[in-house]
Amino acid sequence: MSIFLQNVHKILRRSIELGNFPEELYYFLAKPQRIVVVQIPVRMDDGRMAVFEGYRVQHNNALGPYKGGIRFHPEVTLEDDIALAMLMTFKNSLHGLPYGGGKGAVRVDPKRLSERELERLSRGYVRAIRGVIGEYEDIPAPDIGTNPQIMAWMVDEYSVLRGRNVPAAFTAKPPELWGNPVREYATGFGVAVAAREAAKRELGGFEGLRVAVHGFGNTGQWAAYWSARFGARVVAISDTSGTVYDPNGLDVELALKAKRETGKVVNYPKGEKLGPDASLYVDADVLMPSAMENTIRLDNVAKVKARLVVEGANGPTTPDAEAVLYGRGVTVVPDILANGGGVVMSYLEWLQNLQWQAWKEGETRDRLEGQMVDTFARVYSAYREGRGVTMRDTAFILAIDRVYSAIRARGWM
């Protein structure tokens, strides 16, 4: 069993014990309802045939259709996909969405494919899983290595297979294909909102605080952008090329331009250049780990200086490392709360698509922000009332309670 899946099982078991749920609920939720493993043949540009392995994990649908992203990454495993699907069940539940949890993946390095090869792979994946997805069954979205263009190819392929346009079958599509412009930055925006709300309560306010962002993909870029818009001072950003650090604050828009045009944050023309993980350890008030799982671990947690950790990635802090942080008085805003902006926005897009409506960007962003603020306030209040030792405990207890209520109402337990 992968370390990531082990950690999610630990969190689940701990939350069930702390929430006084029946022990059999752990065994019910520890495994997904369905796992689909597929082989995807793709004709490459040089004429050879390559075969890629893909997954779609459907964890639990007590609350509604399965919902979760599709990851294209060379190191994905089925066990990690199961862990991600489990987290989606609890994230969707926590934010009050009418969704269960699912996740998909293809083991591939998308950077090594041409655009035509990537399109063939995307369409092939949809053909392979077409029987288990749909606007009322399982609604995929992007994750690491995928983007709105890939969603456009996928929704087009699915619509061809169905013989009509089915925009609600996928979310985070380009605005030209029934998407909403807010979805591009929704996850990072939500992380920044969660950080702002946590800082108000834990650090006396967000304006002027030093923020470090580890991982400068879609989530990290927009978390940095909106943190700066909310008045914080972004002092460090990083990707696999390295870290850019400036204690006086970075020009986030210039950093976005450097990343967009060169693909590397170290090509930002100012600041001190450090190693890729240095952003985790710089002097900052708020740290946003926004890259991959298992980023903050027992072997490096002692070097983390931030007073508040807001998780942009899924599972970036291991349970043992989190215990060390709380022992030092550091609060961790958990992934299922902090990075829920993406799936909340996906829900809003799904509603628009089902009704064939189009909402304006400002209106949509206001709805997203309102839901993030409300969910944070609910979790924080329960946390301070002692519903859990950590904020993660509290968030999972609240999420599990909603899933458990639906399971009992259905007569499954």
The closest of 367, 339, 335 to 352, measured between CA atoms, is 367
Q: Measure the CA–CA gap between 14 and 393, rounded to whole angstroms.
A: 8
Q: Measure the CA–CA gap between 289 and 310, rounded to whole angstroms.
A: 7
Q: H or E element: which one contains 73?
A: strand 66-73
Count CB atoms within 10 A of the CB of residue 411. Answer: 6
Which DSSP letter does residue 387 get? S
For the residues of 95-159, what is the DSSP string, one character each? TT-S-EEEEEEEE--GGGS-HHHHHHHHHHHHHHHGGG-BTTTEEEEE-TT--HHHHHHHHHHHH
Q: Measure the CA–CA gap between 255 and 244, rounded to whole angstroms.
A: 9
Q: Where are the beta strands (DSSP E) in 161-209?
A: none
CB contact at 8 A, 105 and 135: no
The closest of 152, 143, 59 to 99, measured between CA atoms, is 59
Q: Which amino acid is at 111?
A: K
Please list the active-site residues. 103
For the residues of 245-300, what is the DSSP string, one character each? E-TT---HHHHHHHHHHHS-GGGSSSSEEE-TTGGGTSS-SEEEE-S-SS-B-TTT
Q: Measure the CA–CA gap between 388 and 398, rounded to whole angstroms.
A: 10
Q: Measure the CA–CA gap between 21 and 401, rounded to whole angstroms.
A: 8
